[in-house]
Amino acid sequence: MLMNLFKFKGGVKPPTNKTQSLGLPIAMAPMPSRLVVPLHQSIGGTPRPVVEAGDKVLKGQLIGEADGWISAAVHAPTSGTVVEVAMHVQPHPSGLDAMCVVIEPDGKDEWIVREPVDYKSLTPEQVRERLQQAGVVGLGGAVFPTHGKLTASKTVPMEEMVVNGAECEPFITCDDLLMRERAEEVVRGIGIFRDLLQPKKVLIGIEDNKPEAAAAMRAAVEAVGEDFEVIQVPTLYPAGGAKQLIRVLTGKEVPASKRSTDLGVQCFNVATAYTAWRAIAHGEPVVSRLVTITGNVHEPRNYEVLIGTPMDELLKLATPHPDTDGIVMGGPMMGFLVPQPDVPVVKATNCLIAHSDRLFPPKAPEMPCIRCGSCAQACPHELQPFEMYWFSRAKNFGKTQEYHIFDCIECGCCSFVCPSRIPLVQYFRFAKSEIWAREREKNAADQAKERFEFKQYREEREKAEKAEKLAKAAAAQAAKKAAEAAAAAAAGEVPAPAAEASSPAPVAAPSAADAEKAAKLATIQAAMERAKAQREAAQPKNTEHLTPEQQRAAEEIESRRATAGLVPPETPVNEKSE
């Protein structure tokens, strides 16, 4: 199969360090002492916990319900007892904690009732629903809920589906071993995605430093009888970035702030395809994943690990060297040191590297930028990292956005090549999170302003309405009084001679004015009487014939009220109600 491959600009070739962990086949990690399963393991809404402390759970039982469409369910990785639903430190550079379900395994590893289905008998909606319920997310690292990517665009015809087996980051070999050992299931999983999206072509991209994986995948594709193309791409970091792999395989360049689906391309990781197949054809939700344990250890190897396994227990399996001083989650280019060794493995954990100064010597101090432009040549997104660096450093965030900082995938190529050893990606992460924080603040301020303005408008309107009502009531009252007075006058004038009746107008006019005055006086009088009655009614009752105890209690209450600064009961309390 000869195919014209394309190139992406930039990229670097760090030492791959993959052979260490390739020597041994995948092993099942033993059951840990306890499992800490974070509820928020994917992009999107945080799943709601559906279990409580003390509940018995089975392997694969739902413990966190998806919250909204872009969110994926979370399941118990083994059978046992829920110890608590509480905040625990996350494998996140912040070292902050989030809600987790802690499970104590009972050792039986007993599954729930699994319901394997033939996905061909289901509608596409049902398949997507099942994937969401099974917690299938992108296992390449971004953990985007997979079902959200499986709806074909209505406007753009789906041309190619790219399956990402490049695994470009040094040290990591979990996808390599997955393709070698479980190629058939990966291919069948790709088949599900293909049937949902109906692309014209399916391209499986694998870096050419994994010939065994590529051969295994080719054999599996043939065995299953599919027409997927397995393509070996040149080993160049970051060929496994979605946009880079799409560029290499299809020649399409995804423009800034657009998605690959706008060009009719969708990209999935091989491990995602595998979990999708397990979820549909075996009814097994995502409760474990392959993790490469490598770095400063005696026996680097790939393990199938239950989600929620504490990282330090896992690292012990590979017997770390005594000078190990930390754990890096992810690879050396994009990974980060976890805040404490017992944080749990999550769906995004593809690799744990035992860190030591021998393996990763501390960087010499940062030097000033000499404007050599190496970073711009290395950037796979054709950005200008040096410009973004200056503006990030100066906190000129508007300018960083003009230089498209949000297209930066934080691959670390620029930091890798920088002769001044500037941690460029750190600056970009700083700038990005500042911009997001500002955006949140701006939205909050806009909302507050809108609510404040509406409150003012409402108060004005209420005032106007009240005034209008009062005016109307007063007018009605006056008219009524006038009518009464006129009627009274008319009644008094009935026996009067007819001559006078012929000219009632001049007499009626002054009498009407008088009547109005009288009516006003009467209403005032009535209001005063009403107020008096109200005041009397408000006076405390049952104050006679009190026992000394009751008297004391009453006085005590009065004194408390006085100290609390409340108005004494004599003055009416309802002053505020205008």
Quote the least distance from Cβ 458 to other proteins, whole Å.
8
90 interacts with other proteins by CB under 8 A: yes
CB of 424 to other proteins, least distance (A): 9
What Å distances lie between residue 451 and 162, 438, 572, CA to CA?
Answer: 47, 20, 33
Geometric angle at alpha carbon 308, from 303 and 310, rounded to 5°: 75
Q: How far, CA to CA in Å, does 51 sit from each of 82, 99, 342, 555?
A: 8, 12, 23, 52
* Binding flag, residue 223, other proteins (CB under 8 A): no
> Nearest distance from residue 383's CB to other proteins, in Å?
18
Residue 294, classed as helix, strand or coil, is: strand
Site string for other proteins, 45-84 (x = CB under 8 A): ----------------------------------------
CB of residue 140 to other proteins, shortest distance in Å: 21
- Beta strands 80-89 and 27-28, pairing class: unpaired
Query: Cβ–Cβ contacts within 10 Å for residue 276, how many?
Result: 30
CB crowding 222-246: b at 16 or more within 10 Å, else e: eebeeebbbbbbebbbbbbbbbbbb
Segment 427 to 486, residues that bind other proteins, using CB under 8 A: 427, 429-430, 432-434, 437, 440-441, 444-449, 451-452, 454-455
Q: Which of 30, 52, 69, 94 binds other proteins (CB under 8 A)?
A: 94
Output the smallest distance, CB 334 to other proteins, in A: 14
Residue 509 is a binding residue for other proteins (CB under 8 A): no
Give me the amino acid identity at 98.
Answer: A
Q: Return the number of the residue (538 or 566) whose C-beta is nearest other proteins.
A: 566
Shortest distance, position 136 Cβ to other proteins, whole Å: 22
- Distance, in Å, from the CA atom of 102 to the CA atom of 83, rounded to the nearest integer, reads 5
* Shortest separation between residue 457's beta carbon and other proteins, angstroms: 11
CB of 70 to other proteins, least distance (A): 15
- In angstroms, the CA 4 to CA 391 distance is 39
* Structure tokens that stand for 399 in this block: 């300018």
- Tell me how far CA of residue 276 lies from CA of 119, 194, 302, 444, in angstroms: 11, 12, 20, 39
Pick between residue 46 and residue 511 the one whose CB is nearest to other proteins.
46
In the complex with other proteins, which residue's Cβ is closer, 200 or 440? Answer: 440
Give yes or no for residue 569 binding other proteins (CB under 8 A). no
Cis, peptide link before residue 238, omega less than 30° from 0: yes
Q: Rule CB under 8 A: is residue 40 a binding residue for other proteins? A: yes
> Per CB under 8 A, which region of 85-93, 180-188, 204-212, 469-477 contacts other proteins?
85-93
**Sole binder of other proteins in the list 393, 399, 404, 520 (CB under 8 A):** 393
Residues in binding contact with other proteins, number by CB under 8 A = 34
C-alpha span between 105 and 32 (Å, rounded): 8
Of 70, 98, 337, 489, the one binding other proteins (CB under 8 A) is 98
Tell me the closest approach of the beta carbon of residue 293 to other proteins, in angstroms.
Answer: 25
Beta-bridge mates of residue 302: 292
DSSP 528-548: HHHHHHHHHHHS--S-SS--H
Residue 350 · residue 426 · CB < 8 Å: no
Selected from 298, 541, 545, 576, the binder of other proteins by CB under 8 A is 576
CB of 554 to other proteins, least distance (A): 19
Three-state SS string over 228-259 comes to CEEEEECCCECCCCHHHHHHHHHCCCCCCCCC
> At what angle are helices 424-492 and 504-538 packed, to 10 degrees?
120
Question: Of 9, 34, 48, 92, which one interacts with other proteins (CB under 8 A)?
Answer: 92
Residues 549-568 that bind other proteins (CB under 8 A): 564-566
The residues binding other proteins (CB under 8 A) are 40, 90, 92-94, 96, 98, 393, 395, 423, 426-427, 429-430, 432-434, 437, 440-441, 444-449, 451-452, 454-455, 564-566, 576
